[in-house]
């Protein structure tokens, strides 16, 4: 029974230990991913407008240049063919090709400005979800207090994401909604969208953040009807009902511990969890320490206190993010990884 619960949980929230690879939603557009909101469609139409204007203007210039090269070819140098004209100035032409593009530029600028203001102005009635970027994982904290490695949102509602970072710069990028915002340590930034279609689509980190920048992928799941509330309730219930080991396993997955701590003995950015329990580790200071309940707890809350020798001091603190019950669960889970 517990086995079944753990497996079904994977479907909801947790990711496999290795890199998780989301899928783009299918679309007919050659250039752009599926547009998941009204604003995204508006931005796309501007994109396609610029695209077609660009294609037309580039083709005109290049075809003209090619035609001129063919029509006025100089032949062999010794023929000493002279140019047909030494005309080198035309104020009219200069004015025409300075002013005509102006009209195009102003149109595009105003159009882009309107959508940009809309992108940056989140509606008041939004659901607020806190996103935290850290190497190399997104975590999302829901109004109920639930923390998850994936973004779940209700269909047709305005969703406002408040973004922060605990280490370096990241950038929350959801191509489906044409939104992107940097996660800057020391301040909150935000973005919003209103998902129209139920389904899943990828989330990326767009600001380079180190070794596993490209593994910082997640996905957004849009629930139809009351699926979102049901999902939140379900998650809470399951977490409460879980035996400690299962809870610990889930937390290790949700908080993305696996990005640095492998479960199979491979050395990553941090020490592997396999066989870690009850081991004696040598610290960067040269001291030795026994991996016991207290050490694990301290490492989660104050990771810089006892860094194991040979590993970079990279781990963020999870103070305030993990309840005691969840930490106990992680301890119990580590005991099982022999």
Using CB under 8 A as the binding rule, the residues of this chain from 157 to 196 that contact another protein are 167-169, 171, 173, 175, 178-182, 184-187, 189
Please report, as residue ranges, which positions from 107 to 126 form the binding site for another protein (by CB under 8 A): 108-109, 111-117, 119-120
The CA dihedral of 182, 187, 297, 6, to the nearest 10 degrees, is -40
| Residue 266 binds another protein, judged by CB under 8 A | no
- Assess 308 for contact with another protein (CB under 8 A): no
Number of residues that bind another protein (CB under 8 A): 90
Cis omega (within 30 of 0) on the bond before 113? Answer: no
Using CB under 8 A, which residues numbered 27 to 46 contact another protein? 30-33, 42-43, 46
Instruction: Please give the DSSP secondary-structure letter assigned to residue 315.
Output: P
> Structure tokens of 272?
């592997």
> Which of 177, 241, 190 shows the shortest CA–CA distance to 4?
241
Cβ burial 20-31 (10 Å sphere, 16+ → b, else e): bebeebeeeeee
Output the smallest distance, CB 330 to another protein, in A: 26
Q: Closest CB to another protein among 11 and 83?
A: 83
Task: Note whether 131 binds another protein by CB under 8 A.
Answer: no
Distance CA 87, CA 278 (A): 88
Contact flag: residue 310 with another protein (CB under 8 A) = no
- Considering only residues 226 to 255 of the shown chain, the ones binding another protein according to CB under 8 A are none
Within 70-99, the residues that bind another protein by CB under 8 A are 72-75, 77-78, 80-90, 93-94, 97-98
Question: Which residue, 18 or 275, is less far from another protein as judged by CB?
Answer: 18
CB of residue 336 to another protein, shortest distance in Å: 29
Would you count residue 208 as binding another protein (CB under 8 A)?
A: yes
SS3 at position 18: coil
- Can you tell me which of 5, 19, 198, 284 binds another protein, judged by CB under 8 A? 19
Q: Of the listed pieces 2-10, 65-73, 236-244, 257-265, which binds another protein according to CB under 8 A? A: 65-73
- Mind giving me the DSSP string for 101-159? HHHHHHHHHHHHHHHHHHHH---TTPEEEEEEEETTEEEEE-TTS-EESSEEEETTS-E
**Taking CB under 8 A as the rule, does residue 57 contact another protein?**
yes
Binding segment for another protein (CB under 8 A), chosen from 26-34, 124-132, 252-260, 298-306, is 26-34
Residue pair 150/159 in contact by the 8 Å Cβ criterion:
no
Reading the block at residue 100, the tokens are 């005509």
Rg (CA), the chain: 28
- Residue 308 Cβ, how far from another protein at the closest point, in Å? 15
């Amino acid at each position: 029974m517990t086995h079944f619960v753990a497996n079904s949980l994977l479907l909801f929230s947790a990711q496999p230990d290795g890199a998780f690879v989301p899928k783009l939603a299918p679309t007919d557009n050659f250039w752009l991913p599926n547009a998941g909101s009204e604003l995204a469609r508006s931005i796309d139409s501007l994109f396609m407008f610029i695209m077609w204007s660009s294609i037309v203007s580039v083709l005109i210039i290049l075809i003209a240049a090619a035609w001129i090269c063919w029509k006025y070819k100089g032949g062999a140098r010794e023929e000493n063919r002279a140019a047909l004209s030494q005309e080198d100035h035309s104020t009219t032409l200069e004015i025409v090709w300075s002013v005509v593009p102006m009209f195009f530029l102003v149109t595009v600028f105003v159009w882009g400005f309107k959508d940009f203001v809309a992108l940056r102005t989140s509606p008041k009635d939004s659901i607020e979800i806190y996103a935290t970027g850290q190497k190399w994982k997104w975590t999302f904290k829901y109004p109920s207090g639930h923390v998850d490695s994936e973004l779940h949102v209700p269909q047709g509602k305005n969703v406002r994401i408040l973004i922060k970072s605990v280490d370096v710069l990241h950038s929350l990028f959801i191509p489906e909604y044409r939104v992107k915002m940097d996660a800057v340590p020391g301040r909150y930034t935000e973005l919003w969208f209103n998902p129209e279609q139920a389904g899943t689509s990828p989330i990326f980190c767009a600001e380079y953040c180190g070794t596993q920048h490209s593994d910082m992928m997640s996905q957004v799941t849009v629930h139809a009807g009351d699926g979102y509330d049901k999902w939140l309730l379900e998650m809470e219930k399951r977490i409460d009902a879980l035996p400690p080991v299962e809870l610990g396993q889930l937390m290790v997955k949700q908080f993305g511990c696996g990005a640095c701590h492998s479960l199979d003995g491979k050395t990553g950015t941090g020490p592997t969890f396999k066989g870690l329990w009850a081991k004696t580790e040598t610290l960067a200071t040269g001291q030795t320490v026994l991996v016991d309940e207290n050490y694990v707890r301290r490492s989660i809350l104050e990771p810089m206190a006892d860094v194991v020798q040979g590993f970079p001091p990279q781990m963020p603190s999870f103070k305030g993010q993990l309840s005691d019950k969840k930490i106990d669960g992680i301890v119990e889970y580590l005991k099982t990884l022999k």
